[in-house]
Each structure stands twice: as C-alpha cells, then as structure tokens.
Amino acid sequence: MAGPARMRGRHWGLIASFVLTVLAPLIAVGFYLFEVAQDQYASRTGFTVRQEDGAMTTDLLGGLVQLGNVGGGSADSDILYEFIMSQTLVARIDARLDLVGHYAANHARDPVFSLSPDAAIEDLLTYWQRVVRLSHDHATGLIELQVLAFSPEMAQRIAQNIVSESQTLVNALNATARNDTMHLAGADLDEALERLRVAREALTHFRVRTQIVDPESDLRGRMGVLNNLQQQLAEALIEFDLMAENTANASDARLVQAQRRIDVIRNRITEERATFMMGETSGGQDYPTLMAEYEGLIVDREFAEERYRAALTALDLARANAMRQSRYLAAYIQPTLPQTATFPQRTVNLALAALFLFMAWSILTLVYYSLRDRQ
C-alpha cells in the first residue's frame, strides 16, 4: 500500500516558482496599473472621403458622357489612412500642439505609458501609433479614429487637427486633379486647333494649286455646258433633217453648213466628256482624282472641326468642374470631448497579464517535469 502523500521539496519549489513568476509580477503589474499609471482620455471621430456627382465630359464626337458617381473613394481613403499614420502628419501636429511636451509630462511617474522627453521624431512616430488607433473599412471607405491623451481637451484638439490636416490633404488631391484635368483639356484643345489649322491650310493649298474654289460647283458648271451642247446638237439635227427634206440637192450650201455645225458640236461634246474622264484640269489632274482629293480634304476638315468643338466643350466643362470641389471630407462623427478616463484599461490589462504569466509558468513547469522524467 502506498503511503499518504507528503509535500516534497519539488512541490515547495513549484509553489515558490508560481509565486515568483505569477503572483509577484501580477501584483507588481496591478500596483502599477492602479496606482502609478496615469489616466488617459479617448476622443473619437469618424469620417470618409466623398465624391460629388460625376462630372460631364465630352467624347471624341462631342457627345456628353457622365463619369464617376457619389460614394466613398476607396483609393482616397487608403491614401488618407496612410497619411494619418505618417511621419509628416506627426511632425505637423507636434509643431502645432507640442506632442512631445504633452506625452512626456508624466514620464518620471509613468514611464510605461508616457513618451521619453528626449524622444526623436521616429520615437514619436512609434508612440503615435500607440495613442492613435484607426479602423478602416475598405468596402465603404469609412475611417474611425480614436486618439488618446492625458487630458480630454488635448485628445479632442489632436483629433480636430487630424481632421483638419486630412481635409488639407483632400484639398491638395483636388487641386492636383483639377490641374491635371485642365492641362489635359488644354492640350487636347491645342491639338484639335492645330489639326483644324492643318486641314484648312491643305484645303486652301488645293484651291490655289487647282485654281478651283469648289470642284463640285465647277463640275456642275461643266455639266451645264455639256447639257447645253447636247441640246444644241439635238436642235441642229432636227434642223438638218427638216432642211434635207425640203432640199433636193445634197450639195446645197445650207446642208453643208448645217452638217458642219453638227460635227463641230459633236466634237465639242466629245472633248468635254474626255475632260471629265481623262482630260486634265487647270491643276493638271483629271476630274475623278480631283474630286477624290477634294472630298478627302473636306472630310478631314469636318472631322477636325468636330474634334475642335468637342475639345472646346470639354475645356469649358473642365473649367466648370474646377470651380467646385469634387472630393470632400465628410465627418459623420465630430471629434468628441471625453469626460471619463477609459485608458489604460486596467482590468483588461491585468487579466491579460495574469493569463500570459500563468501560461508562461505552466509551460516552464511542463518543461521541467519533462526533463526530470527523462533522467
């Protein structure tokens, strides 16, 4: 039969280790949290980047196209999130509110939750990431911000400055977008104007070279001459037939003269038709080639004019859009003024400390007994 269990040396050592590794540190942590740690106040705010109704722009043919819509800009919110946690923002607010002086005021009494008085900007940035807590919803673009400080007024002022600097960043993004839009619209207008100038110069050069202002009008005039000749030929043929019926002598001078007139008209008609198809104009080209070149120049000019009108409309719309703010910071929670110190969360921190100390002691105990059993 086994004897009654008795306390051995290892048992007393186990209790002593529990006291030293769990109870004593836990008492020290509790004393620091409840007696030494300074109260911190949390100011909360929430905002997002919104966009106005999509601006109207023009397509290549001058039609109006609507771009964009109302909603949160996810990309803008991502930029804002990174900006709030950046060294640039920390340096600006530190220069305005003296963050180092505020967070280092209690360093002698509370070194754990305070900032070192001789902290560099990198140390301040690390501490900033402890006292400024961000929650960012990528789906909606909403940003919720919580700022901790040793006084409620300072917490609210820091939150207000963050919102103000964020609005400044959004305005800078707007200014950049406006400048880019105006630059692109102006460049497109200059290109369209140059293309229109080239098209008109090409048409002018064509008219000077061919000495024809409008080939279509010139062609209609030539067709009128040809129609007139054909009408004269018909009249001459009728006159010749009537004269031949009334004259028995085939060598009559009037018949010869009438036949000669018919031949002259026919030759002229043949020459006019040859001019249309194969003959050369005053510019040295036949009419089909001339008409093809002229129609191409007219199409180029009309296209250039349409593009110029579209570019001019786009510039006017870009200028109108630049007069208003397309992006803006919408704060759905204004920076609050806390009345009760909620940080450091003493009970939660003490419970976490107890959990981790007990887990560490348990692991060390298991390791000790595992090594003891191997011997």
For residue range 343-370, what is the model confidence (pLDDT) as tens digits?
Answer: 999 999 999 999 999 999 999 999 988 8
Other Cβ atoms less than 10 A from the Cβ of 313: the count is 18
Distance CA 223, CA 362 (A): 112
Q: Which residues pair with 57 in a beta bridge?
A: 65
- CB-based contacts of 277, cutoff 8 Å, min separation 6: 286, 287, 288
The predicted model gives 107-117 an average pLDDT of: 94
Is 80 exceeded by the pLDDT of residue 5?
no
8 Å CB contact between 202 and 298: no
Distance CA 92, CA 206 (A): 65
Burial class (CB in 10 A: 0-12, 13-18, 19+), 91: middle
Nearest to 64 by CA among 73, 75, 56, 74: 56
| CA dihedral of residues 117, 118, 123, 124 (deg, nearest 10) | 50
Q: What angle do CA 349, 353, 354 make, to 5 degrees?
A: 120
8 Å CB contact between 42 and 158: no
Taken as a whole, the chain contains a residue count of 375
Nearest to 298 by CA among 204, 230, 368: 204
Task: Label each residue of the chain as H, E or C.
Answer: CCCCCCCCHHHHHHHHHHHHHHHHHHHHHHHHHHHHCCCEEEEEEEEEEEECCCCEEECCCCCEEECCCCEECHHHHHHHHHHHCCHHHHHHHHHHHCHHHHHCCCCCCCCCCCCCCCCCHHHHHHHHHHHEEEEECCCCCCEEEEEEECCHHHHHHHHHHHHHHHHHHHHHHHHHHHHHHHHHHHHHHHHHHHHHHHHHHHHHHHHHHHCCCCHHHHHHHHHHHHHHHHHHHHHHHHHHHHHHHHCCCCCCHHHHHHHHHHHHHHHHHHHHHHHHHCCCCCCCCCHHHHHHHHHHHHHHHHHHHHHHHHHHHHHHHHHHHHCCCCEEEEEEECCCCCCCCCECCHHHHHHHHHHHHHHHHHHHHHHHHHHHHHC
Parallel, antiparallel or unpaired: strands 56-58 and 132-136? unpaired
8 Å CB contact between 84 and 166: yes
Is 80 exceeded by the pLDDT of residue 159?
yes
State pLDDT tens for residues 271-317. Answer: 777 766 554 555 556 777 777 888 899 999 999 999 999 999 988 88
Is 50 exceeded by the pLDDT of residue 72?
no
Place 196 in a pLDDT band, splitting at 50, 70 and 90: very high
Place 197 in a pLDDT band, splitting at 50, 70 and 90: very high
Distance CA 254, CA 243 (A): 8
Nearest to 336 by CA among 158, 167, 166, 164: 158
Read off φ and ψ for residue 48, nearest 5 degrees: -155, 165
pLDDT at residue 67 in the model: 43
Distance CA 314, CA 187 (A): 11
pLDDT at residue 375 in the model: 67
Name the least confident of 97-101, 208-212, 319-323. 319-323
Is 50 exceeded by the pLDDT of residue 56?
no
Is 50 exceeded by the pLDDT of residue 61?
no
Distance CA 95, CA 9 (A): 61
Burial class (CB in 10 A: 0-12, 13-18, 19+), 241: exposed
Q: Which amino acid is at 368?
A: Y
